[in-house]
Amino acid sequence: MRPLIHPPIEDITVEGILHALSDPVRVAIYAELAGATCTSICSNFLQVSDRSIPKSTLSQHFRALREAGLVHSERRGVEMHNTSRCMEIEQRFPGLLPAILSAHNVQSADRARAIKRKQAAARKLGS
Cβ neighbours of residue 39 under 8 Å, at least 6 residues apart? 74, 81, 82, 83
Task: Tell me the CA distances in angstroms from 57 to 11, 18, 77, 83, one per residue in order.
Answer: 25, 19, 21, 19
Q: Which is nearer to DNA, 58 or 101 (CB)?
A: 58
Task: By CB under 7 A, tell whether 49 contacts DNA.
Answer: no
Task: By CB under 7 A, tell whether 71 contacts DNA.
Answer: no
What beta strand segments (E) does 51-122 contain? 51-52, 71-76, 79-84
Q: Which is nearer to its own copies, 62 or 80 (CB)?
A: 62
Q: Which is nearer to DNA, 47 or 119 (CB)?
A: 47
- State the minimum distance, in angstroms, from the CB of residue 78 to DNA: 4
How many residues bind DNA (CB under 7 A)? The answer is 26
Window contacting DNA (CB under 7 A); options: 28-36, 70-78, 86-94, 106-114: 70-78
Which of 9, 49, 55, 106 touches DNA by CB under 7 A?
A: 55
User: Which of 8, 1, 2 is closest to 72 using CA atoms?
Assistant: 8
The conformation of residue 70, written as its DSSP 8-state character, comes to: S
